[in-house]
Structure 1
Amino acid sequence: MPLAATGELIAAATAARGAVAAFNVITLEHVEAVIAGAESVGAPVVLQVSENAVGFRHGRLLPLARAAAATAERAAVPVALHLDHIHSDDLLRQAPGAGFSSVMYDAARLPYEENLAATRAAADWAHAQGLWLEAELGQVGGKDGEPPPDPHAPGARTDPGEAAAFVADSGVDALAVAVGSTHAMTTRTATLDHVLLKRLSTALDVPLVLHGSSGLPDGELTAAVAGGIAKVNIGTALNVAMTGAIRDHLAAHPGTVDPRTYLRTGREAMTRTVAHLITVLRDGRAFTG
């Protein structure tokens, strides 16, 4: 089927008081696993390509984007393409021609006024191209190997009043909020500030996005959906599944040289992880805490 639009998937999830899973992909095996997992549970899904993933591809967006789009167009469920954590204006401007319907423009490390100005300009340009734009306010740590912020440090949590002003003044379509999760966690031990999440959900009239979701156990994920999260970003959980499966396979078969054997094992592990997490998020619609 044709590529879906991220904004339409999020709108449908919001209306149903649910959330859409958005998985970061690095290789074609990631792409295939995400789509296979979504198909196995009959759910729409978002494929995300980050600026870091583009950097890994020697700074070239199109090879991975075109592979993702070609695979998505053959999927049995709606699949959208999202460009994630973009700092580069040049990369932002490549999004429409590469099949992306949405972009997460990341100026969150800048001081508030600079973040607002950069995000406003990005949103104006994106909307003129028909793109849905997500931004971030607060700091979800752990990106690029950085340590997580002190949870009590200024800016480490999203302030509801500031967030409402930021959304109104920037014109963004969705906001990633800092409520206690951290990027790149390999253990599922994080907990969210659900009181703050509820305040943010009440204060804002745009969908809320949760970054750093790989570090959250199932109960925290379902509670986040019940608390108002409409898009859940997941990346490291796929890498944990893939790397663990490949490591086990090579340990059991040390003579292996054909990468298809261990890549298949890694892809299957990621597929199971995707199916499980989508099911958890879908069940979150009925979670009562």
Structure 2
Amino acid sequence: MTATIDPTTDLYPTRLSGPGAMIQREHPTVWGSAEDGPFDAAALRAHEDRGFTILEDFISGQEVEAYTAELNRLASDESLKSDHRVVTEKVSGEVRSVFEVQKLSEKLDALSRDPRLLDRARQLLGSDVYLHQTRINFMPGFKGTGFYWHSDFETWHAEDGMPAPRAVSCSIALTRNYPFNGGLMVMPGSHRTYVQCVGETPENNHASSLKEQKIGVPSEDDITQMAEEFGVDQFTGPAGSALWFDSNIMHGSGNNITPFPRSNIFMVFNSVENALTEPFGASSARPEHIASRDTTPLR
């Protein structure tokens, strides 16, 4: 694998007109070392191998309450009902996600700069970082719909112009993640395989894909092959837990038909050395609130 990024060369072609393939990742998962941050050498090796790390009790119970109050405030804010940053469920019309939350909440902005997050993001990516994307996700009881199997990097590469998978996501649970309330599923080790997807990206695809993604998802045959090779694990645990996962890991979630809601804070850190260019698989880039082009390092 190479540790250099050439934004002018497309090493990860996708949104093809014909059948795609599974290709080997060309870049590392972990770019830093144990001396660079809070993860020790064993934890970095495990993250490199599996593509994800779960940290229980990442934030305190008091913080969970404070951030939950912020989520509820944003979801019930009448001034945001027609805001382009708010995505609603396709069927129920309830709030599904709110994007660019660091600009809507001082508490969440401060969280993005908290050393517990920032130091780990810098260590994993081996550089200063900026926020590629932030959002809060809601999965209400009985009505919450899941996210189909996908690689975030495939979308960020095709529609945002992210050159390489040198980005990492942190999902902080604000409710208990049970095995049965739509918790996130991941395929350990799948981050080393890039799955090319078929189908041209429609104009303004984000308007529908954030509700239900149909373009940029693997075929059922590809998912079956990967599940047989890598298996499926799930992010479960108490409120306050955090899941750190590589941008290219195959993941998804099922619908929540239980009475137990699920909500989380989702922050994507991208290396400042992996700044967005023109999209590699779309005619125009997605809006700034979905894919930021401000690479000012977080401090």
Same fold judged by TM-score > 0.5?
A: no
Bigger relative CO (Cα 8 Å, ≥ 6 apart): 2
Higher strand share: 2
Higher helix share: 1
Q: TM-score, normalised by structure 1?
A: 0.28
